[in-house]
Chains A and B, each alone.
Chain A
Amino acid sequence: MAKRSNEPFLWSLFSSGGMIAALMFPVLLFLFGLAFPLGWLEAPSYESLLSLVRYWPVRLVLFGLCSLPLFHGAHRFRFTLYDGLQIKHLNELIAVFCYGSAIAGTVLAAYILWSIP
């Protein structure tokens, strides 16, 4: 059996991250990026957000929310650099930069969510 590429795993991260981002990011960015800062809706207080995040199911959802979409973005951006700018010779560098950032974000998310008081 010939050696099969490990791209299927990366693509599964990409597609699940893409689905999560598609379903949840518009509303979250609208609220935290526009509605709350501009005062259209009242932002939740520190205490209410903290009490919400303390629930473990919420932490698990947040972990998924903060890790998989990062892989989605990383994967897509990697291909955009590869195809869009035709810098194939920097292939390994691009892959390390993109997936490395996603892994860093994932580790950071895990650490933060673990250490919520």
Chain B
Amino acid sequence: MKDAHAYTLYRPKWYRKRVSTWWWAQQWRSFKFILRELSSVAVGYCGAILLMLLWSLTQGPETYETLKSWLKTPLFIVMSLIAFGFVLYHSITWFNLAPKAMPVRVGGKRLPEWMIAAPNYVAWIAISAVVVWFLLGGK
């Protein structure tokens, strides 16, 4: 046996299992967790798109049109679609976890979790509506 020391009556030999590099792939719940964490890449992608859009605004209408044509290419459409899925996943998991971090007590009793999560969802929808209204020409 190629172990550090052999077991003797007064020297126990504990077994320490190495955590595999693939620990996150071994159970569905670990995999879901890593997907949630990888939504950070999609958030970065969205931030980069926004920066590119803003930059094109400083460069003139031709740059804006070029950027728009880039975004039309299949590569960007696929990336945006995947990123959109991840960003949605981020939002939903974020709002569902908010009640755990902020327990609200009213009259001595703790409010049920959906009551804390619901205002977040309402704000999400309201803000999204405002953004759509702004961008589609209303003022």
Contacts and interface: CB of A to CB of B under 8 A. Distances in A.
Direct A/B contact, Cβ within 8 angstroms = yes
Interface of A: 17-19, 21-34, 36-38, 41-44, 46-50, 52-53, 62, 65-66, 69-70, 72-77, 79-80, 84-86, 101, 105, 108-109, 112-113, 115-117
Contacts of A29: 46, 49, 80, 83-84, 87
B106 interface: no
Contacts of A53: 54, 57
Say which size band chain B's interface belongs to. 35 or more
Q: Is the interface of A mostly helix, strand, loop or mixed?
A: helix
Given A27-B131, A69-B43, A77-B40, A112 B94 contact: no
A37 B77 CA distance: 8
A101 to B, nearest CB: 8
Nearest to A112: B54
B27 interface: no
Contacts of A62: 50, 54
6 contacts: A24-B131, A27-B132, A31-B131, A42-B136, A46-B65, A70-B47
A109 to B, nearest CB: 6
A105 B131 contact: no
A52 B71 contact: no
